[in-house]
Amino acid sequence: MSTSRTHRTHILFVCLGNICRSPLAEGVFRDVLEKDGLADSFHVDSAGTGAYHVGEPADPRSLQVARDHGVTLDGKARKVEPDDLDRFDHIVAMDRDNLRNLEAMKERHGGKAQLHLLREFDPEAHEGDLEVPDPYYGGPDGFQAVYSMIHRSCKELLQRMDSDPPRER
């Protein structure tokens, strides 16, 4: 294990195609870390459970809502790989379908990563409503709503990273 790995927390955000929600969560979490002076304590990435958009930049609407909030999204879409389950401490899914895919991958391949839904950390989420909806087929308002959910959740995720357990799914 490398020395940087022993003191950095590795977090992977996951949605289906890795062009809307998960790159936005990655960018927002990086921004929260930067503002709190904690960027060097974390390694943050995003991926998709599907390979639909591998190599593509984030959706233009995600890029725009991120820019509107001073957040940079500069990654390219990639697919979750089985070794991500060991490389990351926490893998944070945007919805239950992607969480189930991650759980099945972990069952097949093992791994130490703790799996979560992002909105388990959202102080405004209600029990049974812990998913970040996919805004892909909607307009800009959906991307703004998703940004707000992600931002609240990422701020709380950072605060609760090592303290309280997340809510039950």
Q: Which of 20, 21, 45, 119 is catalytic?
A: 21
pLDDT grade for 169, boundaries at 50, 70 and 90: low
pTM for the predicted model, two decimal places: 0.92
The pLDDT of residue 128 is: 86
CB 91 within 8 A of CB 22: no
Q: Is 160 a catalytic residue?
A: no
> What's the pLDDT tens digit per position in 42-101?
999 999 999 999 999 999 999 999 999 999 999 999 999 999 999 999 999 999 999 999
The pLDDT of residue 168 is: 52
Q: Is 78 a catalytic residue?
A: no
The proportion of the chain whose per-residue pLDDT surpasses 90, expressed as a percent, equals 87
Sequential DSSP letters for 33-60: HHHTT-GGGEEEEEEESS-TTTTPBPPH
Is the pLDDT at 145 greater than 60, yes or no? yes
Q: State which H helix or E strand residue 136 sits in.
A: none
Q: Which of 15, 61, 119, 154 is catalytic?
A: 15
Q: What's the gap between Cα 111 and its chain centre?
A: 18
- 150 by Cβ neighbours in 10 Å (0-12 / 13-18 / 19+) ranks as buried
Q: Which of 84, 122, 134, 152 is catalytic?
A: 134
pLDDT grade for 161, boundaries at 50, 70 and 90: confident
E strands within the chain?
9-15, 42-48, 90-93, 114-117
Is the pLDDT at 2 greater than 50, yes or no? no
- The second-level CATH assignment, the architecture, of 3-160 is 3-Layer(aba) Sandwich (3.40)
Q: For 11-25, 50-64, 140-154, 155-169, which range has the lowest pLDDT when averaged over its residues?
A: 155-169
Domain range summary for the chain, segments of one domain joined by +: 3-160
Q: Is 141 a catalytic residue?
A: no
